[in-house]
């Protein structure tokens, strides 16, 4: 199986961090060793999803040369670690994303799965992870604007020398704007999963607990666990 996955979208607020955290947690529950990495350097917020308050170094410190990767790896539960990013603008201004290459190479050797939570938009730090990952998973809601922006991320991935494996459509409702197969067709990629709209997703962020732990039998949790099983080839 592939090791390093970039979870990416064109538009913000579509469920990338939710997908990163829950896919990672589901694989950890299945006994895989997992690292989740906040490469959304400008709008970092992954740590809050798992109640992590970094007491010392973050990915920003690693990228600015002030820390080693080991200093920025935080154990979450038995099989999963998180690499958080700093949240202040000063830290962001100090950072050069180039060092990500080395960080990813290091994590690749140590974990079964590495998930990079990629920032939205088009800039150097969003493009770099797309090329470093073995596999890019596009995340989009069923709204036309989100689908349109994902098309750009797809093109960026190709330019960065990366490969898109498929699409996860999130926050789906019974009467979605565009059918999920139609979205995958427009993006010329495979539909990997649809994650239903589920109020527990938001609540779980406030609780600082991954959705699949917060409400294990809810519709979104079930869909994330199935996606994890599909990726890992387990039933
Ligand atoms: P991104 O990382 O792409 O900006 P997030 O994962 O932070 O997106 O999700 C954006 C918002 O949408 C959050 O408030 C999150 O709780 C909510 N959300 C994500 N997935 C779902 C879902 N399946 N159902 C309902 N709300 C969701
Ligand atoms: Mg996010």
What would the pLDDT profile of 168-198 be if each residue is shown by its tens digit? 999 999 887 788 888 888 888 999 999 999 9
Q: What is the mean pLDDT of residues 36-60?
A: 93
Q: Which residue has the higher pLDDT, 235 or 32?
A: 32
189 Cα: distance to centroid of ligand 2 (angstroms): 22
Instruction: Tell me the percentage of the chain whose pLDDT exceeds 90.
Output: 80
- In CATH terms, 4-232 corresponds, of 3.50.50.60, 3.40.50.300, 3.40.50.150, 1.10.287.1260, to 3.40.50.300
Query: Residue 18 CA: which ligand is closest?
Result: 1
44 Cα: distance to centroid of ligand 2 (angstroms): 7
Sequence-distant (6+) residues with CB within 8 A of 46 are 17, 20, 21, 36, 37, 38, 40, 82, 84, 85, 117
Query: Residue 85 CA: which ligand is closest?
Result: 2
From atom 16 of ligand 1, which residue's Cα is the shortest distance away?
A: 202
Q: Quick check: ipTM above 0.90?
A: yes
Residue 155 has pLDDT above 80, yes or no: yes
Find, among 115, 132, 124, 43, the residue nearest to 80 by Cα. Answer: 115
| Annotated domain spans of the chain | 4-232
Residue pair 209/221 in contact (Cβ under 8 Å)? The answer is no
pLDDT of residue 118: 96
From atom 20 of ligand 1, which residue's Cα is the shortest distance away?
A: 15
104 Cα: distance to centroid of ligand 1 (angstroms): 25
C-beta neighbour count of 203 within 10 angstroms: 14
Q: Which two tokens stand for residue 221?
A: 């949790």
From the alpha carbon of 199, which atom of ligand 1 is closest? Answer: 25
Q: What is the mean pLDDT of residues 59-67?
A: 93
- Ligand 1 pocket, mutate which of 8, 13, 17, 18 (most atoms under 8 A from CB): 18
Per-residue pLDDT reduced to its tens digit, 83-123: 999 888 877 777 788 899 999 999 999 999 999 999 998 88
Q: Which two tokens stand for residue 135?
A: 């596999």
Ligand 1-lining residues (CB < 6 angstroms): 9, 12-18, 170-171, 195, 197-198, 201-202, 205, 220
Say how far apart CA 39 and CA 129 lie, in whole Å: 8
pLDDT of residue 150: 93
Say how far apart CA 120 and CA 199 lie, in whole Å: 23
């Amino acid at each position: 199986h592939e090791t390093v996955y970039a979870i990416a979208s064109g538009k913000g607020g579509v469920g990338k961090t939710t997908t990163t955290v829950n896919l990672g947690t589901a694989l950890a529950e299945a006994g895989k060793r997992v690292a989740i990495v906040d490469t959304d350097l400008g709008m970092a917020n992954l740590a809050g999803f798992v109640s992590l308050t970094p007491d010392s170094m973050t990915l920003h410190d690693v990228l600015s040369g002030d820390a080693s990767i080991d200093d920025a790896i935080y154990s979450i539960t038995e099989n999963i670690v998180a690499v958080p990013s700093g949240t202040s603008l000063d830290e962001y201004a100090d950072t050069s994303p180039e060092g990500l290459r080395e960080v990813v190479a290091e994590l690749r050797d140590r974990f079964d799965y590495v998930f990079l939570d990629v920032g939205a938009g088009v800039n150097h730090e969003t493009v770099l992870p797309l090329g470093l990952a073995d596999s890019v998973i596009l995340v989009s809601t069923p709204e036309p604007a989100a689908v349109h922006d994902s098309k750009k991320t797809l093109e960026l991935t190709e330019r960065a020398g990366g490969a898109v494996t498929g699409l996860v459509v999130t926050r789906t409702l019974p009467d979605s704007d565009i059918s999920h197969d139609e979205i995958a067709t427009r993006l010329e990629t495979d539909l990997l999963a649809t994650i239903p709209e589920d109020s527990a997703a938001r609540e779980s962020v406030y609780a600082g607990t991954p959705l699949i732990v917060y409400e294990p039998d809810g519709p979104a949790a079930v869909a994330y666990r199935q996606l994890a099983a599909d990726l890992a080839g387990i039933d």
